[in-house]
Structure 1
Amino acid sequence: MAEKNLLEAFLKAEELEIQGKEFYLDASEKAHIPSVKDLFKQLAEAEEFHRIKIREIYQTFQAKKNIPAYVTKISQKQISPVFDPKEIEKVASVVTDLAALEEALRLEEKSIQYYQSLSDKSKDLKVKRFLLALIQEEWGHYLSIFDTMEFLRDPSSWYTFKEHWGLEGV
């Protein structure tokens, strides 16, 4: 991938992260369930962190410097929503939360696809590694969102699956 194209691609990637952060902050304000609010806040923080890292890589390339190290992980924090059993009572009124989560899934898919296409085109192994690390982070977000949707749609089954409830010794 030519340097000019790569710089433009990083600017677009930064814009994706900004849009994601704005969406998550807005969704956090509108969410009804506390754990969904918290998830959206954590996702907004993660998107801002990604934006900063993308900007650093962009500036490195713009200054025609080498990327200093291989990137294997972008952030140290894993996003795992924690659901309070008391929240189950509120699940019946979460149509808007579910709609926001479905849109969040689409945003994460869009980011994953974009970063994958950049990675496929990149000749620089360090850039490729950075993009693959971003993809891994976005997949983590995707799975956290998906997990939250499963909880909201069927809390009983979610707890059964997560807590591994079942009949043992039968």
Structure 2
Amino acid sequence: MNESLHPLIEALRHELQQYGEMLALLEQQQDCVLHRRSDDLLQTVGAIQAQARNLQNAREQRESCRRRLARELGLPETAPFAEILPRVPADYRPLLEALVQENNDLLVRVQQRARQNHLLLHRAVELMQKLLAAFLPGSAPLTYSENGQVPTGGSWSPSTLFNAVG
């Protein structure tokens, strides 16, 4: 069983590290939005996307280790940690429980921060649309509508802005 426990522990630790890095990037992104650092904001988007791939790989590795341990314990591969933990040696149980709990807690924090950032970015786009609409009356919105379509009907072009200013 130790052949399956140790890789699972390492996978849980690695996943925890990946969640921590994602949370740090999301906090950096939020800071960029709040302090209007648009160049840095664009860099955080790429870093967050790369970290999302790292996190997905860590989760897949952890799941593979969890399935292997479940099989070793005579449980179905789909057995959740709640069914696995009581069957592991008592010496390992507190560590595994703590790692699973920390991963779950950090996942919740990452989800909350991602939702906050989404709302902040959405609000920034809305404000920019209002600004453009003030300078370019009748122009089409630059983002998707509620039904997922790009609204049509605007006549904005760089020359229109030039003519309005000139």
So what's the TM-score if we normalise by structure 2?
A: 0.38
Q: State the structure with more CA Rg.
A: 2
